[in-house]
Structure 1
Amino acid sequence: MSRRIKCPECQTWNEDRDYCSNCNEVLSHELKMEQAREKLREEEQQRPLTQFNNYLKRLRESDAPIDKVKFTILNSAWWIFLIGVTALIALVALAPG
């Protein structure tokens, strides 16, 4: 079964195409979503890091042993926090009544 799609830009009807035959506009929903995801990825990569993220990056890439210990402690504290929140959610979800 063929699918007919009307182009939102030039109002041309297209059969089984991902792009409009007249204006080359994207017609496929999957392609539009992939383009939107790619745009978000690019924007995220171009966004500057926060001060805390810069600090963590500097600690992670440092050769000083004290910096490696600081990074390990901060990273472990984050994981312990996440495990605690997960356990709390599970406790609430499993609590009777």
Structure 2
Amino acid sequence: MGSRMIKCPKCGVFNTNRDYCKNCNTLISNDKKRELKVAALKQQHIDEAVYSLENPGLAKRLKQHSNLLYRIVGWILYSVVSVVSIIGAGLAWMIAMVAAG
């Protein structure tokens, strides 16, 4: 393999085959920057999934409540949201079919 000469954008020192600058320890490798960015993106997706699992919506919390009255209200709320979503999807499909000709 050939040697890579990379100039540090912070201090201007030329570095050979290094990920970090030998003078100021600044990250200079594009491959390493890309790896860190991918790792951060994966961690963000994991954090979003954990948040959505730990914080369910109102209807789901009410459906799992210990009080029977709250569970009934939760199921009614869930049913209303489902019916409205189905009606909205049907209207969107109908509008798309009319627009398609």
| TM-score normalised per structure 1 | 0.52
Contact 2:59 2:75 in 1 (8 A): no
1:34 and 1:87, CA in 2 relative to 1: closer, same or farther beyond 3 A?
farther
Task: Name the CA distance, whole Å, in 1 between partners of 2:78 and 2:39.
Answer: 32
Match of 2:64 among 58, 61, 64: 61
Matched, 1:26 2:33: yes
Indicate the structure (1 or 2) with the bigger Cα radius of gyration.
2
Moved over 3 A (4+): 9-14, 55-58
Question: Residues 1-97 of structure 1 correspond to what in structure 2 (within 5 A)?
Answer: 21-23=18-20, 25-28=32-35, 32-33=37-38, 35-39=40-44, 41-42=46-47, 45=51, 53=57, 55-56=58-59, 58-95=61-98, 97=101
Cα displacement (A) at 1:67 = 1.2
Task: Name the CA distance, whole Å, in 2 between partners of 1:12 and 1:89.
Answer: 59
Cα displacement (A) at 1:38 = 2.4
Cα displacement (A) at 1:39 = 2.2
Unmatched 5+ stretches in structure 2: 1-5, 21-26
Unmatched 5+ stretches in structure 1: 1-6, 15-20
Aligned counterpart, 1:4: none
Aligned pairs, number: 76
Give me the identity figure in percent: 19
| Two-structure CA RMSD over aligned residues (Å) | 3.7
